[in-house]
Amino acid sequence: MAKKQLVQIKVNGRNREAMVEPRLLLVHFIRGIPGLTGTHVGCDTTHCGACTVLLDGKTVKSCTMFAVQADGCELLTVEGLMQNGKLHPLQEGFKEEHGLQCGFCTPGMLISSYALLSKNENPSEEEIRWGISGNLCRCTGYQNIVKAVQYAAGKMEQGGKDDLPNIA
C-alpha cells in the first residue's frame, strides 16, 4: 500500500480534507469522505457519466480521476445545486418535464446540463443532445431530459442571472 497523502478539496463550498491512498478514485473520495452519495458509479470504463461532477468549472467523470489529482480544486456535485432551500432551475426542470425515472443517472445529467448552460444560455435541441452525450440514461429515452434543460434555459433567461443560486 502506497503512503497516504493529504488531499484538500473544496466540495460545494466546504473545505474537505483527508489522508488518502494515491489510488483512491475521486468518486470514492466524494462518496466516502463528505458522504455525498448523490454522485454514482454506473460503469468501470468512463462511459456512463453517472459520476460526472464539476471540477474548477469543467465537467469530469470522477471515476476516472484520482482524488490526489483534485487536490486544491473546487468541486460541484449534485448536492451543491440547491442553494438556500431553493431548487436550481435545472432541478425544477427535471421534475416538471419528467426528465428522470429511476434517478440513477440524474445527478450526472444535472451536472452536465449545468455545464452546458453555463457555456450556452440558449442551446438548441441538438446542442443539448450533444451536451449530455457523455451521460447514459436507460429509462427516459432522453427526450424529456432535453425538455428539462430547455425549461431551465427558459427559466434562467426569464429570471435573469441574479435570480440564480450562487454556486461555488
CA-to-CA separations, 45 to 8, 30, 83, 127, in angstroms, rounded: 26, 19, 32, 24
Residue 56 C-beta-side C-alpha neighbours within 13 Å: 6
Stretch that binds another protein, among 3-11, 31-39, 67-75, 154-162 (CB under 8 A): 31-39
CA torsion, ordered 120, 122, 112, 102, to nearest 10 deg: 180
* Termini Cα distance of the chain: 34
Stretch that binds another protein, among 39-47, 67-75, 115-123, 151-159 (CB under 8 A): 39-47
Instruction: Name which of 38 and 70 has its Cβ closer to another protein.
Output: 38
Among 129, 164, 165, 167, binds another protein (CB under 8 A): 129
Residue with cell 473546487: 74
Site track for another protein across 95-124, x = CB under 8 A: xx-x-xxxxxxxx--x--------------
Measured distance CA(104)–CA(127) in Å, rounded: 23
- When binding is defined by CB under 8 A, the residue of 52, 140, 151, 156 that contacts another protein is 140
Among 3, 15, 44, 158, binds another protein (CB under 8 A): 44
> What span, in angstroms and rounded, lies between the C-alpha atoms of 56 and 42?
23
Q: Is 55 in the site for another protein (CB under 8 A)?
A: no
Residues of this chain that interact with another protein (CB under 8 A) are 21, 23-24, 35-45, 47-48, 50, 77-79, 81-82, 87, 91, 94-96, 98, 100-107, 110, 125, 128-130, 132-146
